[in-house]
Amino acid sequence: SLAGFFVYRELTRVGDPGVINIGQQAPDFKVKGEDGREIKLSDYRGKLVFLNFWATWCLPCVEEMPEMETLKNTYKDRKFQMLAVSVDTNWDVIKEFYQQHNLTIPAGLDPGHQVSGLYKVFKFPETFLIDGNGYVVKHTWSEHWASPRTVALVDSLIQQQEARQATADKQASTH
């Protein structure tokens, strides 16, 4: 199918040297959420993780965030977890930004660029889709998250996570 071709093409595209590429294990990390709680990437194993690096001063970030919110709400009851890691220096600007744009995307703060540095992020916004086993399956910059092609890709990746989970559950129940 045509959709299958695009999914395959996106999944097999290789990135630039020096960046975290498709097929590589995503580095685990910790960030603090707005409530001060620690958020670890590995806490989301078993789900498709949408890891976005952004900043409130980044115009393309401002443009893509509403579509990210729509995507988050579309897949809220599925094996999908979104995390927006901001390189801003404090929560006040993020809270104000979230209020202005009616956002509820889970956020983490990376003021010293430790996590974005770990992922070799150098332009914003930059997004990694990470499968339930912790491997990068897509790496992109400034995407139209509401486009039918992109929604189809995300949906397909979530379905893969759900199918893996169903298989694992079935195997566990027969042993």
Q: List Cβ<8 Å contacts ≥24 apart for 116-121.
A: 116/53, 116/85, 116/87, 118/27, 118/29, 119/19, 119/20, 119/26, 119/27, 119/51, 119/53, 120/18, 120/19, 120/20, 121/53
Render pLDDT for 100-133 as a digit per residue (tens, 0 to 9): 999 999 999 999 899 999 999 988 999 999 999 9
Give tens-digit pLDDT for 1-32: 555 544 444 444 444 445 677 888 999 999 99
pTM comes to: 0.84
Find out whether 104 and 20 touch, Cβ atoms under 8 Å.
Answer: no
CB 139 within 8 A of CB 15: yes
**Residue 172 above 50 pLDDT?**
yes
